[in-house]
Structure 1
Amino acid sequence: MKITFLTVGKTEDAYLKEGIDKYVKRLKYYTKLELVDLPELKNTKALTEQQQKAKEAEMILKKISPLDHVILLDEKGMELTSKQFAAFIDKKSISSTSSLVFVVGGPYGFDPSVYDRANDKLSLSRMTFSHQMIRLFFTEQLYRAFTIIKGEPYHHE
């Protein structure tokens, strides 16, 4: 199963990049992971929030195929423990899902067209984090999920 982590904007802070790289390297042993950073919109001062979300939606939807199972990282999404997230990933793998696409939107969230395309929504916390931090948290949780699935000692109860 291929996993794509699709984000709007780049990770700029070196310490976050270093952490993300650490988990991406570790994930190579478990799954094919592709990181796709879409460019941030330029000259947004003249655009409303809705116009920005619509332009981001165009970029996001171009990167998603009809067969992809799309999960939005969204504050209103399902809240799972690490074990439940591992079970979710494992279930998708067993059910012959060939491609999971996890999506982090821009600063204002997602356009309705992206919500319409999504198969699931996942919340990493009830708290609000920067989009850059979410990238690190997600890659760590994805790594943790695979170690749980494989019964490896990374995760402690």
Structure 2
Amino acid sequence: MKIQFWSVGKPHEAYVKQGVEEFTKRVTRYFPADWLLIAPPKNAASLDGQSLKKQEGLSVLQQLQPDDYLILLDERGKQMSSPELAMFIQQRANESAKRLVFLIGGAFGVDEAVSKRASFTWSFSKLVFPHMLVRLMLAEQVYRACTILRNEKYHHE
């Protein structure tokens, strides 16, 4: 199974880039993993929030493969503990999912078509975080889940 981290928006900012790269590299000890940064449309500044979500959604949907397991990060999703995330990832591996795609939407969220395509909607918290921090937290939490699956010492209960 391959893990892909997708984020709509600009490239990683310097203050998170090193951490994102480090935790992504750590995840690759367990599963092939990488990032896809989906650039906002060129005319983003002239679009209202709904139109922007629709255009970003089209970009996301065009890049998804039919058998991708899409996990949408959204504050209205289901919350999980780190051990629950580990079991969730293990279940997808047991189901022979080819690609597990974690998606961080744009500044205004995601279009309804993307929400409907999502296999699961996950919430880190009811709080809203800056997208750049979510990238770092996502990579770290997936790494933590991998260490839990292998009974390694990174996670302490």
TM-score class normalised by the smaller sequence: over 0.9
C-alpha distance in structure 1 between counterparts of 2:43 and 2:95, whole Å: 43
TM-superposition CA deviations, 1:15-46 (whole Å, max 9, x none): 20011011011111100112100112333332
Give the TM-score normalised by the residue count of structure 2. Answer: 0.96
- The within-5 A match list for 1:48-127 is 48-127=48-127
Letter in 1 for 2:21: D
Secondary structure (helix, strand or coil) at the match of 1:93 reads helix
Corresponding residue SS for 1:58: helix
Q: Is contact 1:71–1:101 with CA below 8 Å preserved after alignment?
A: yes
Q: Taking every aligned residue pair, what percent have the same amino acid on both sides?
A: 39
Distance in structure 2 (CA, Å) of the matches to 1:28 and 1:101: 15
**Residue in 1 aligned with 2:149?**
149
After superposition, residues 20-59 of structure 1 pair within 5 angstroms as 20-59=20-59
Distance in 2 between residues matched to 1:12 and 1:36, nearest whole Å: 11
TM-score between the two structures when normalised by the length of structure 1: 0.96
CA apart distance, 1:13: 2.5
> What do the CA deviations read for 1:55-114 (whole angstroms, capped 9, x no partner)?
000110011010001110011111000000001001111121121111111000010110
In the alignment, is the contact (CA less than 8 A) between 2:4 and 2:102 conserved in 1?
yes
Unaligned runs of 5+ in 2: none
Please, what is the CA RMSD of the aligned residues? 1.1
SS of aligned partner of 2:142 = helix
Alpha-carbon distance in 2 for matches of 1:25, 1:5:
12
- Give the aligned residue type for 1:126: K
104-113 or 36-45: bigger deviation: 36-45
Shift of 1:149: 0.2
| Residue of structure 2 in register with 1:132 after alignment | 132
User: Which amino acid counterpart does residue 112 of structure 2 have in structure 1?
Assistant: P
Task: Count residues with an aligned counterpart.
Answer: 157
Equivalent AA in structure 2 for residue 32 of structure 1: P
Q: Secondary structure at the match of 1:17?
A: helix
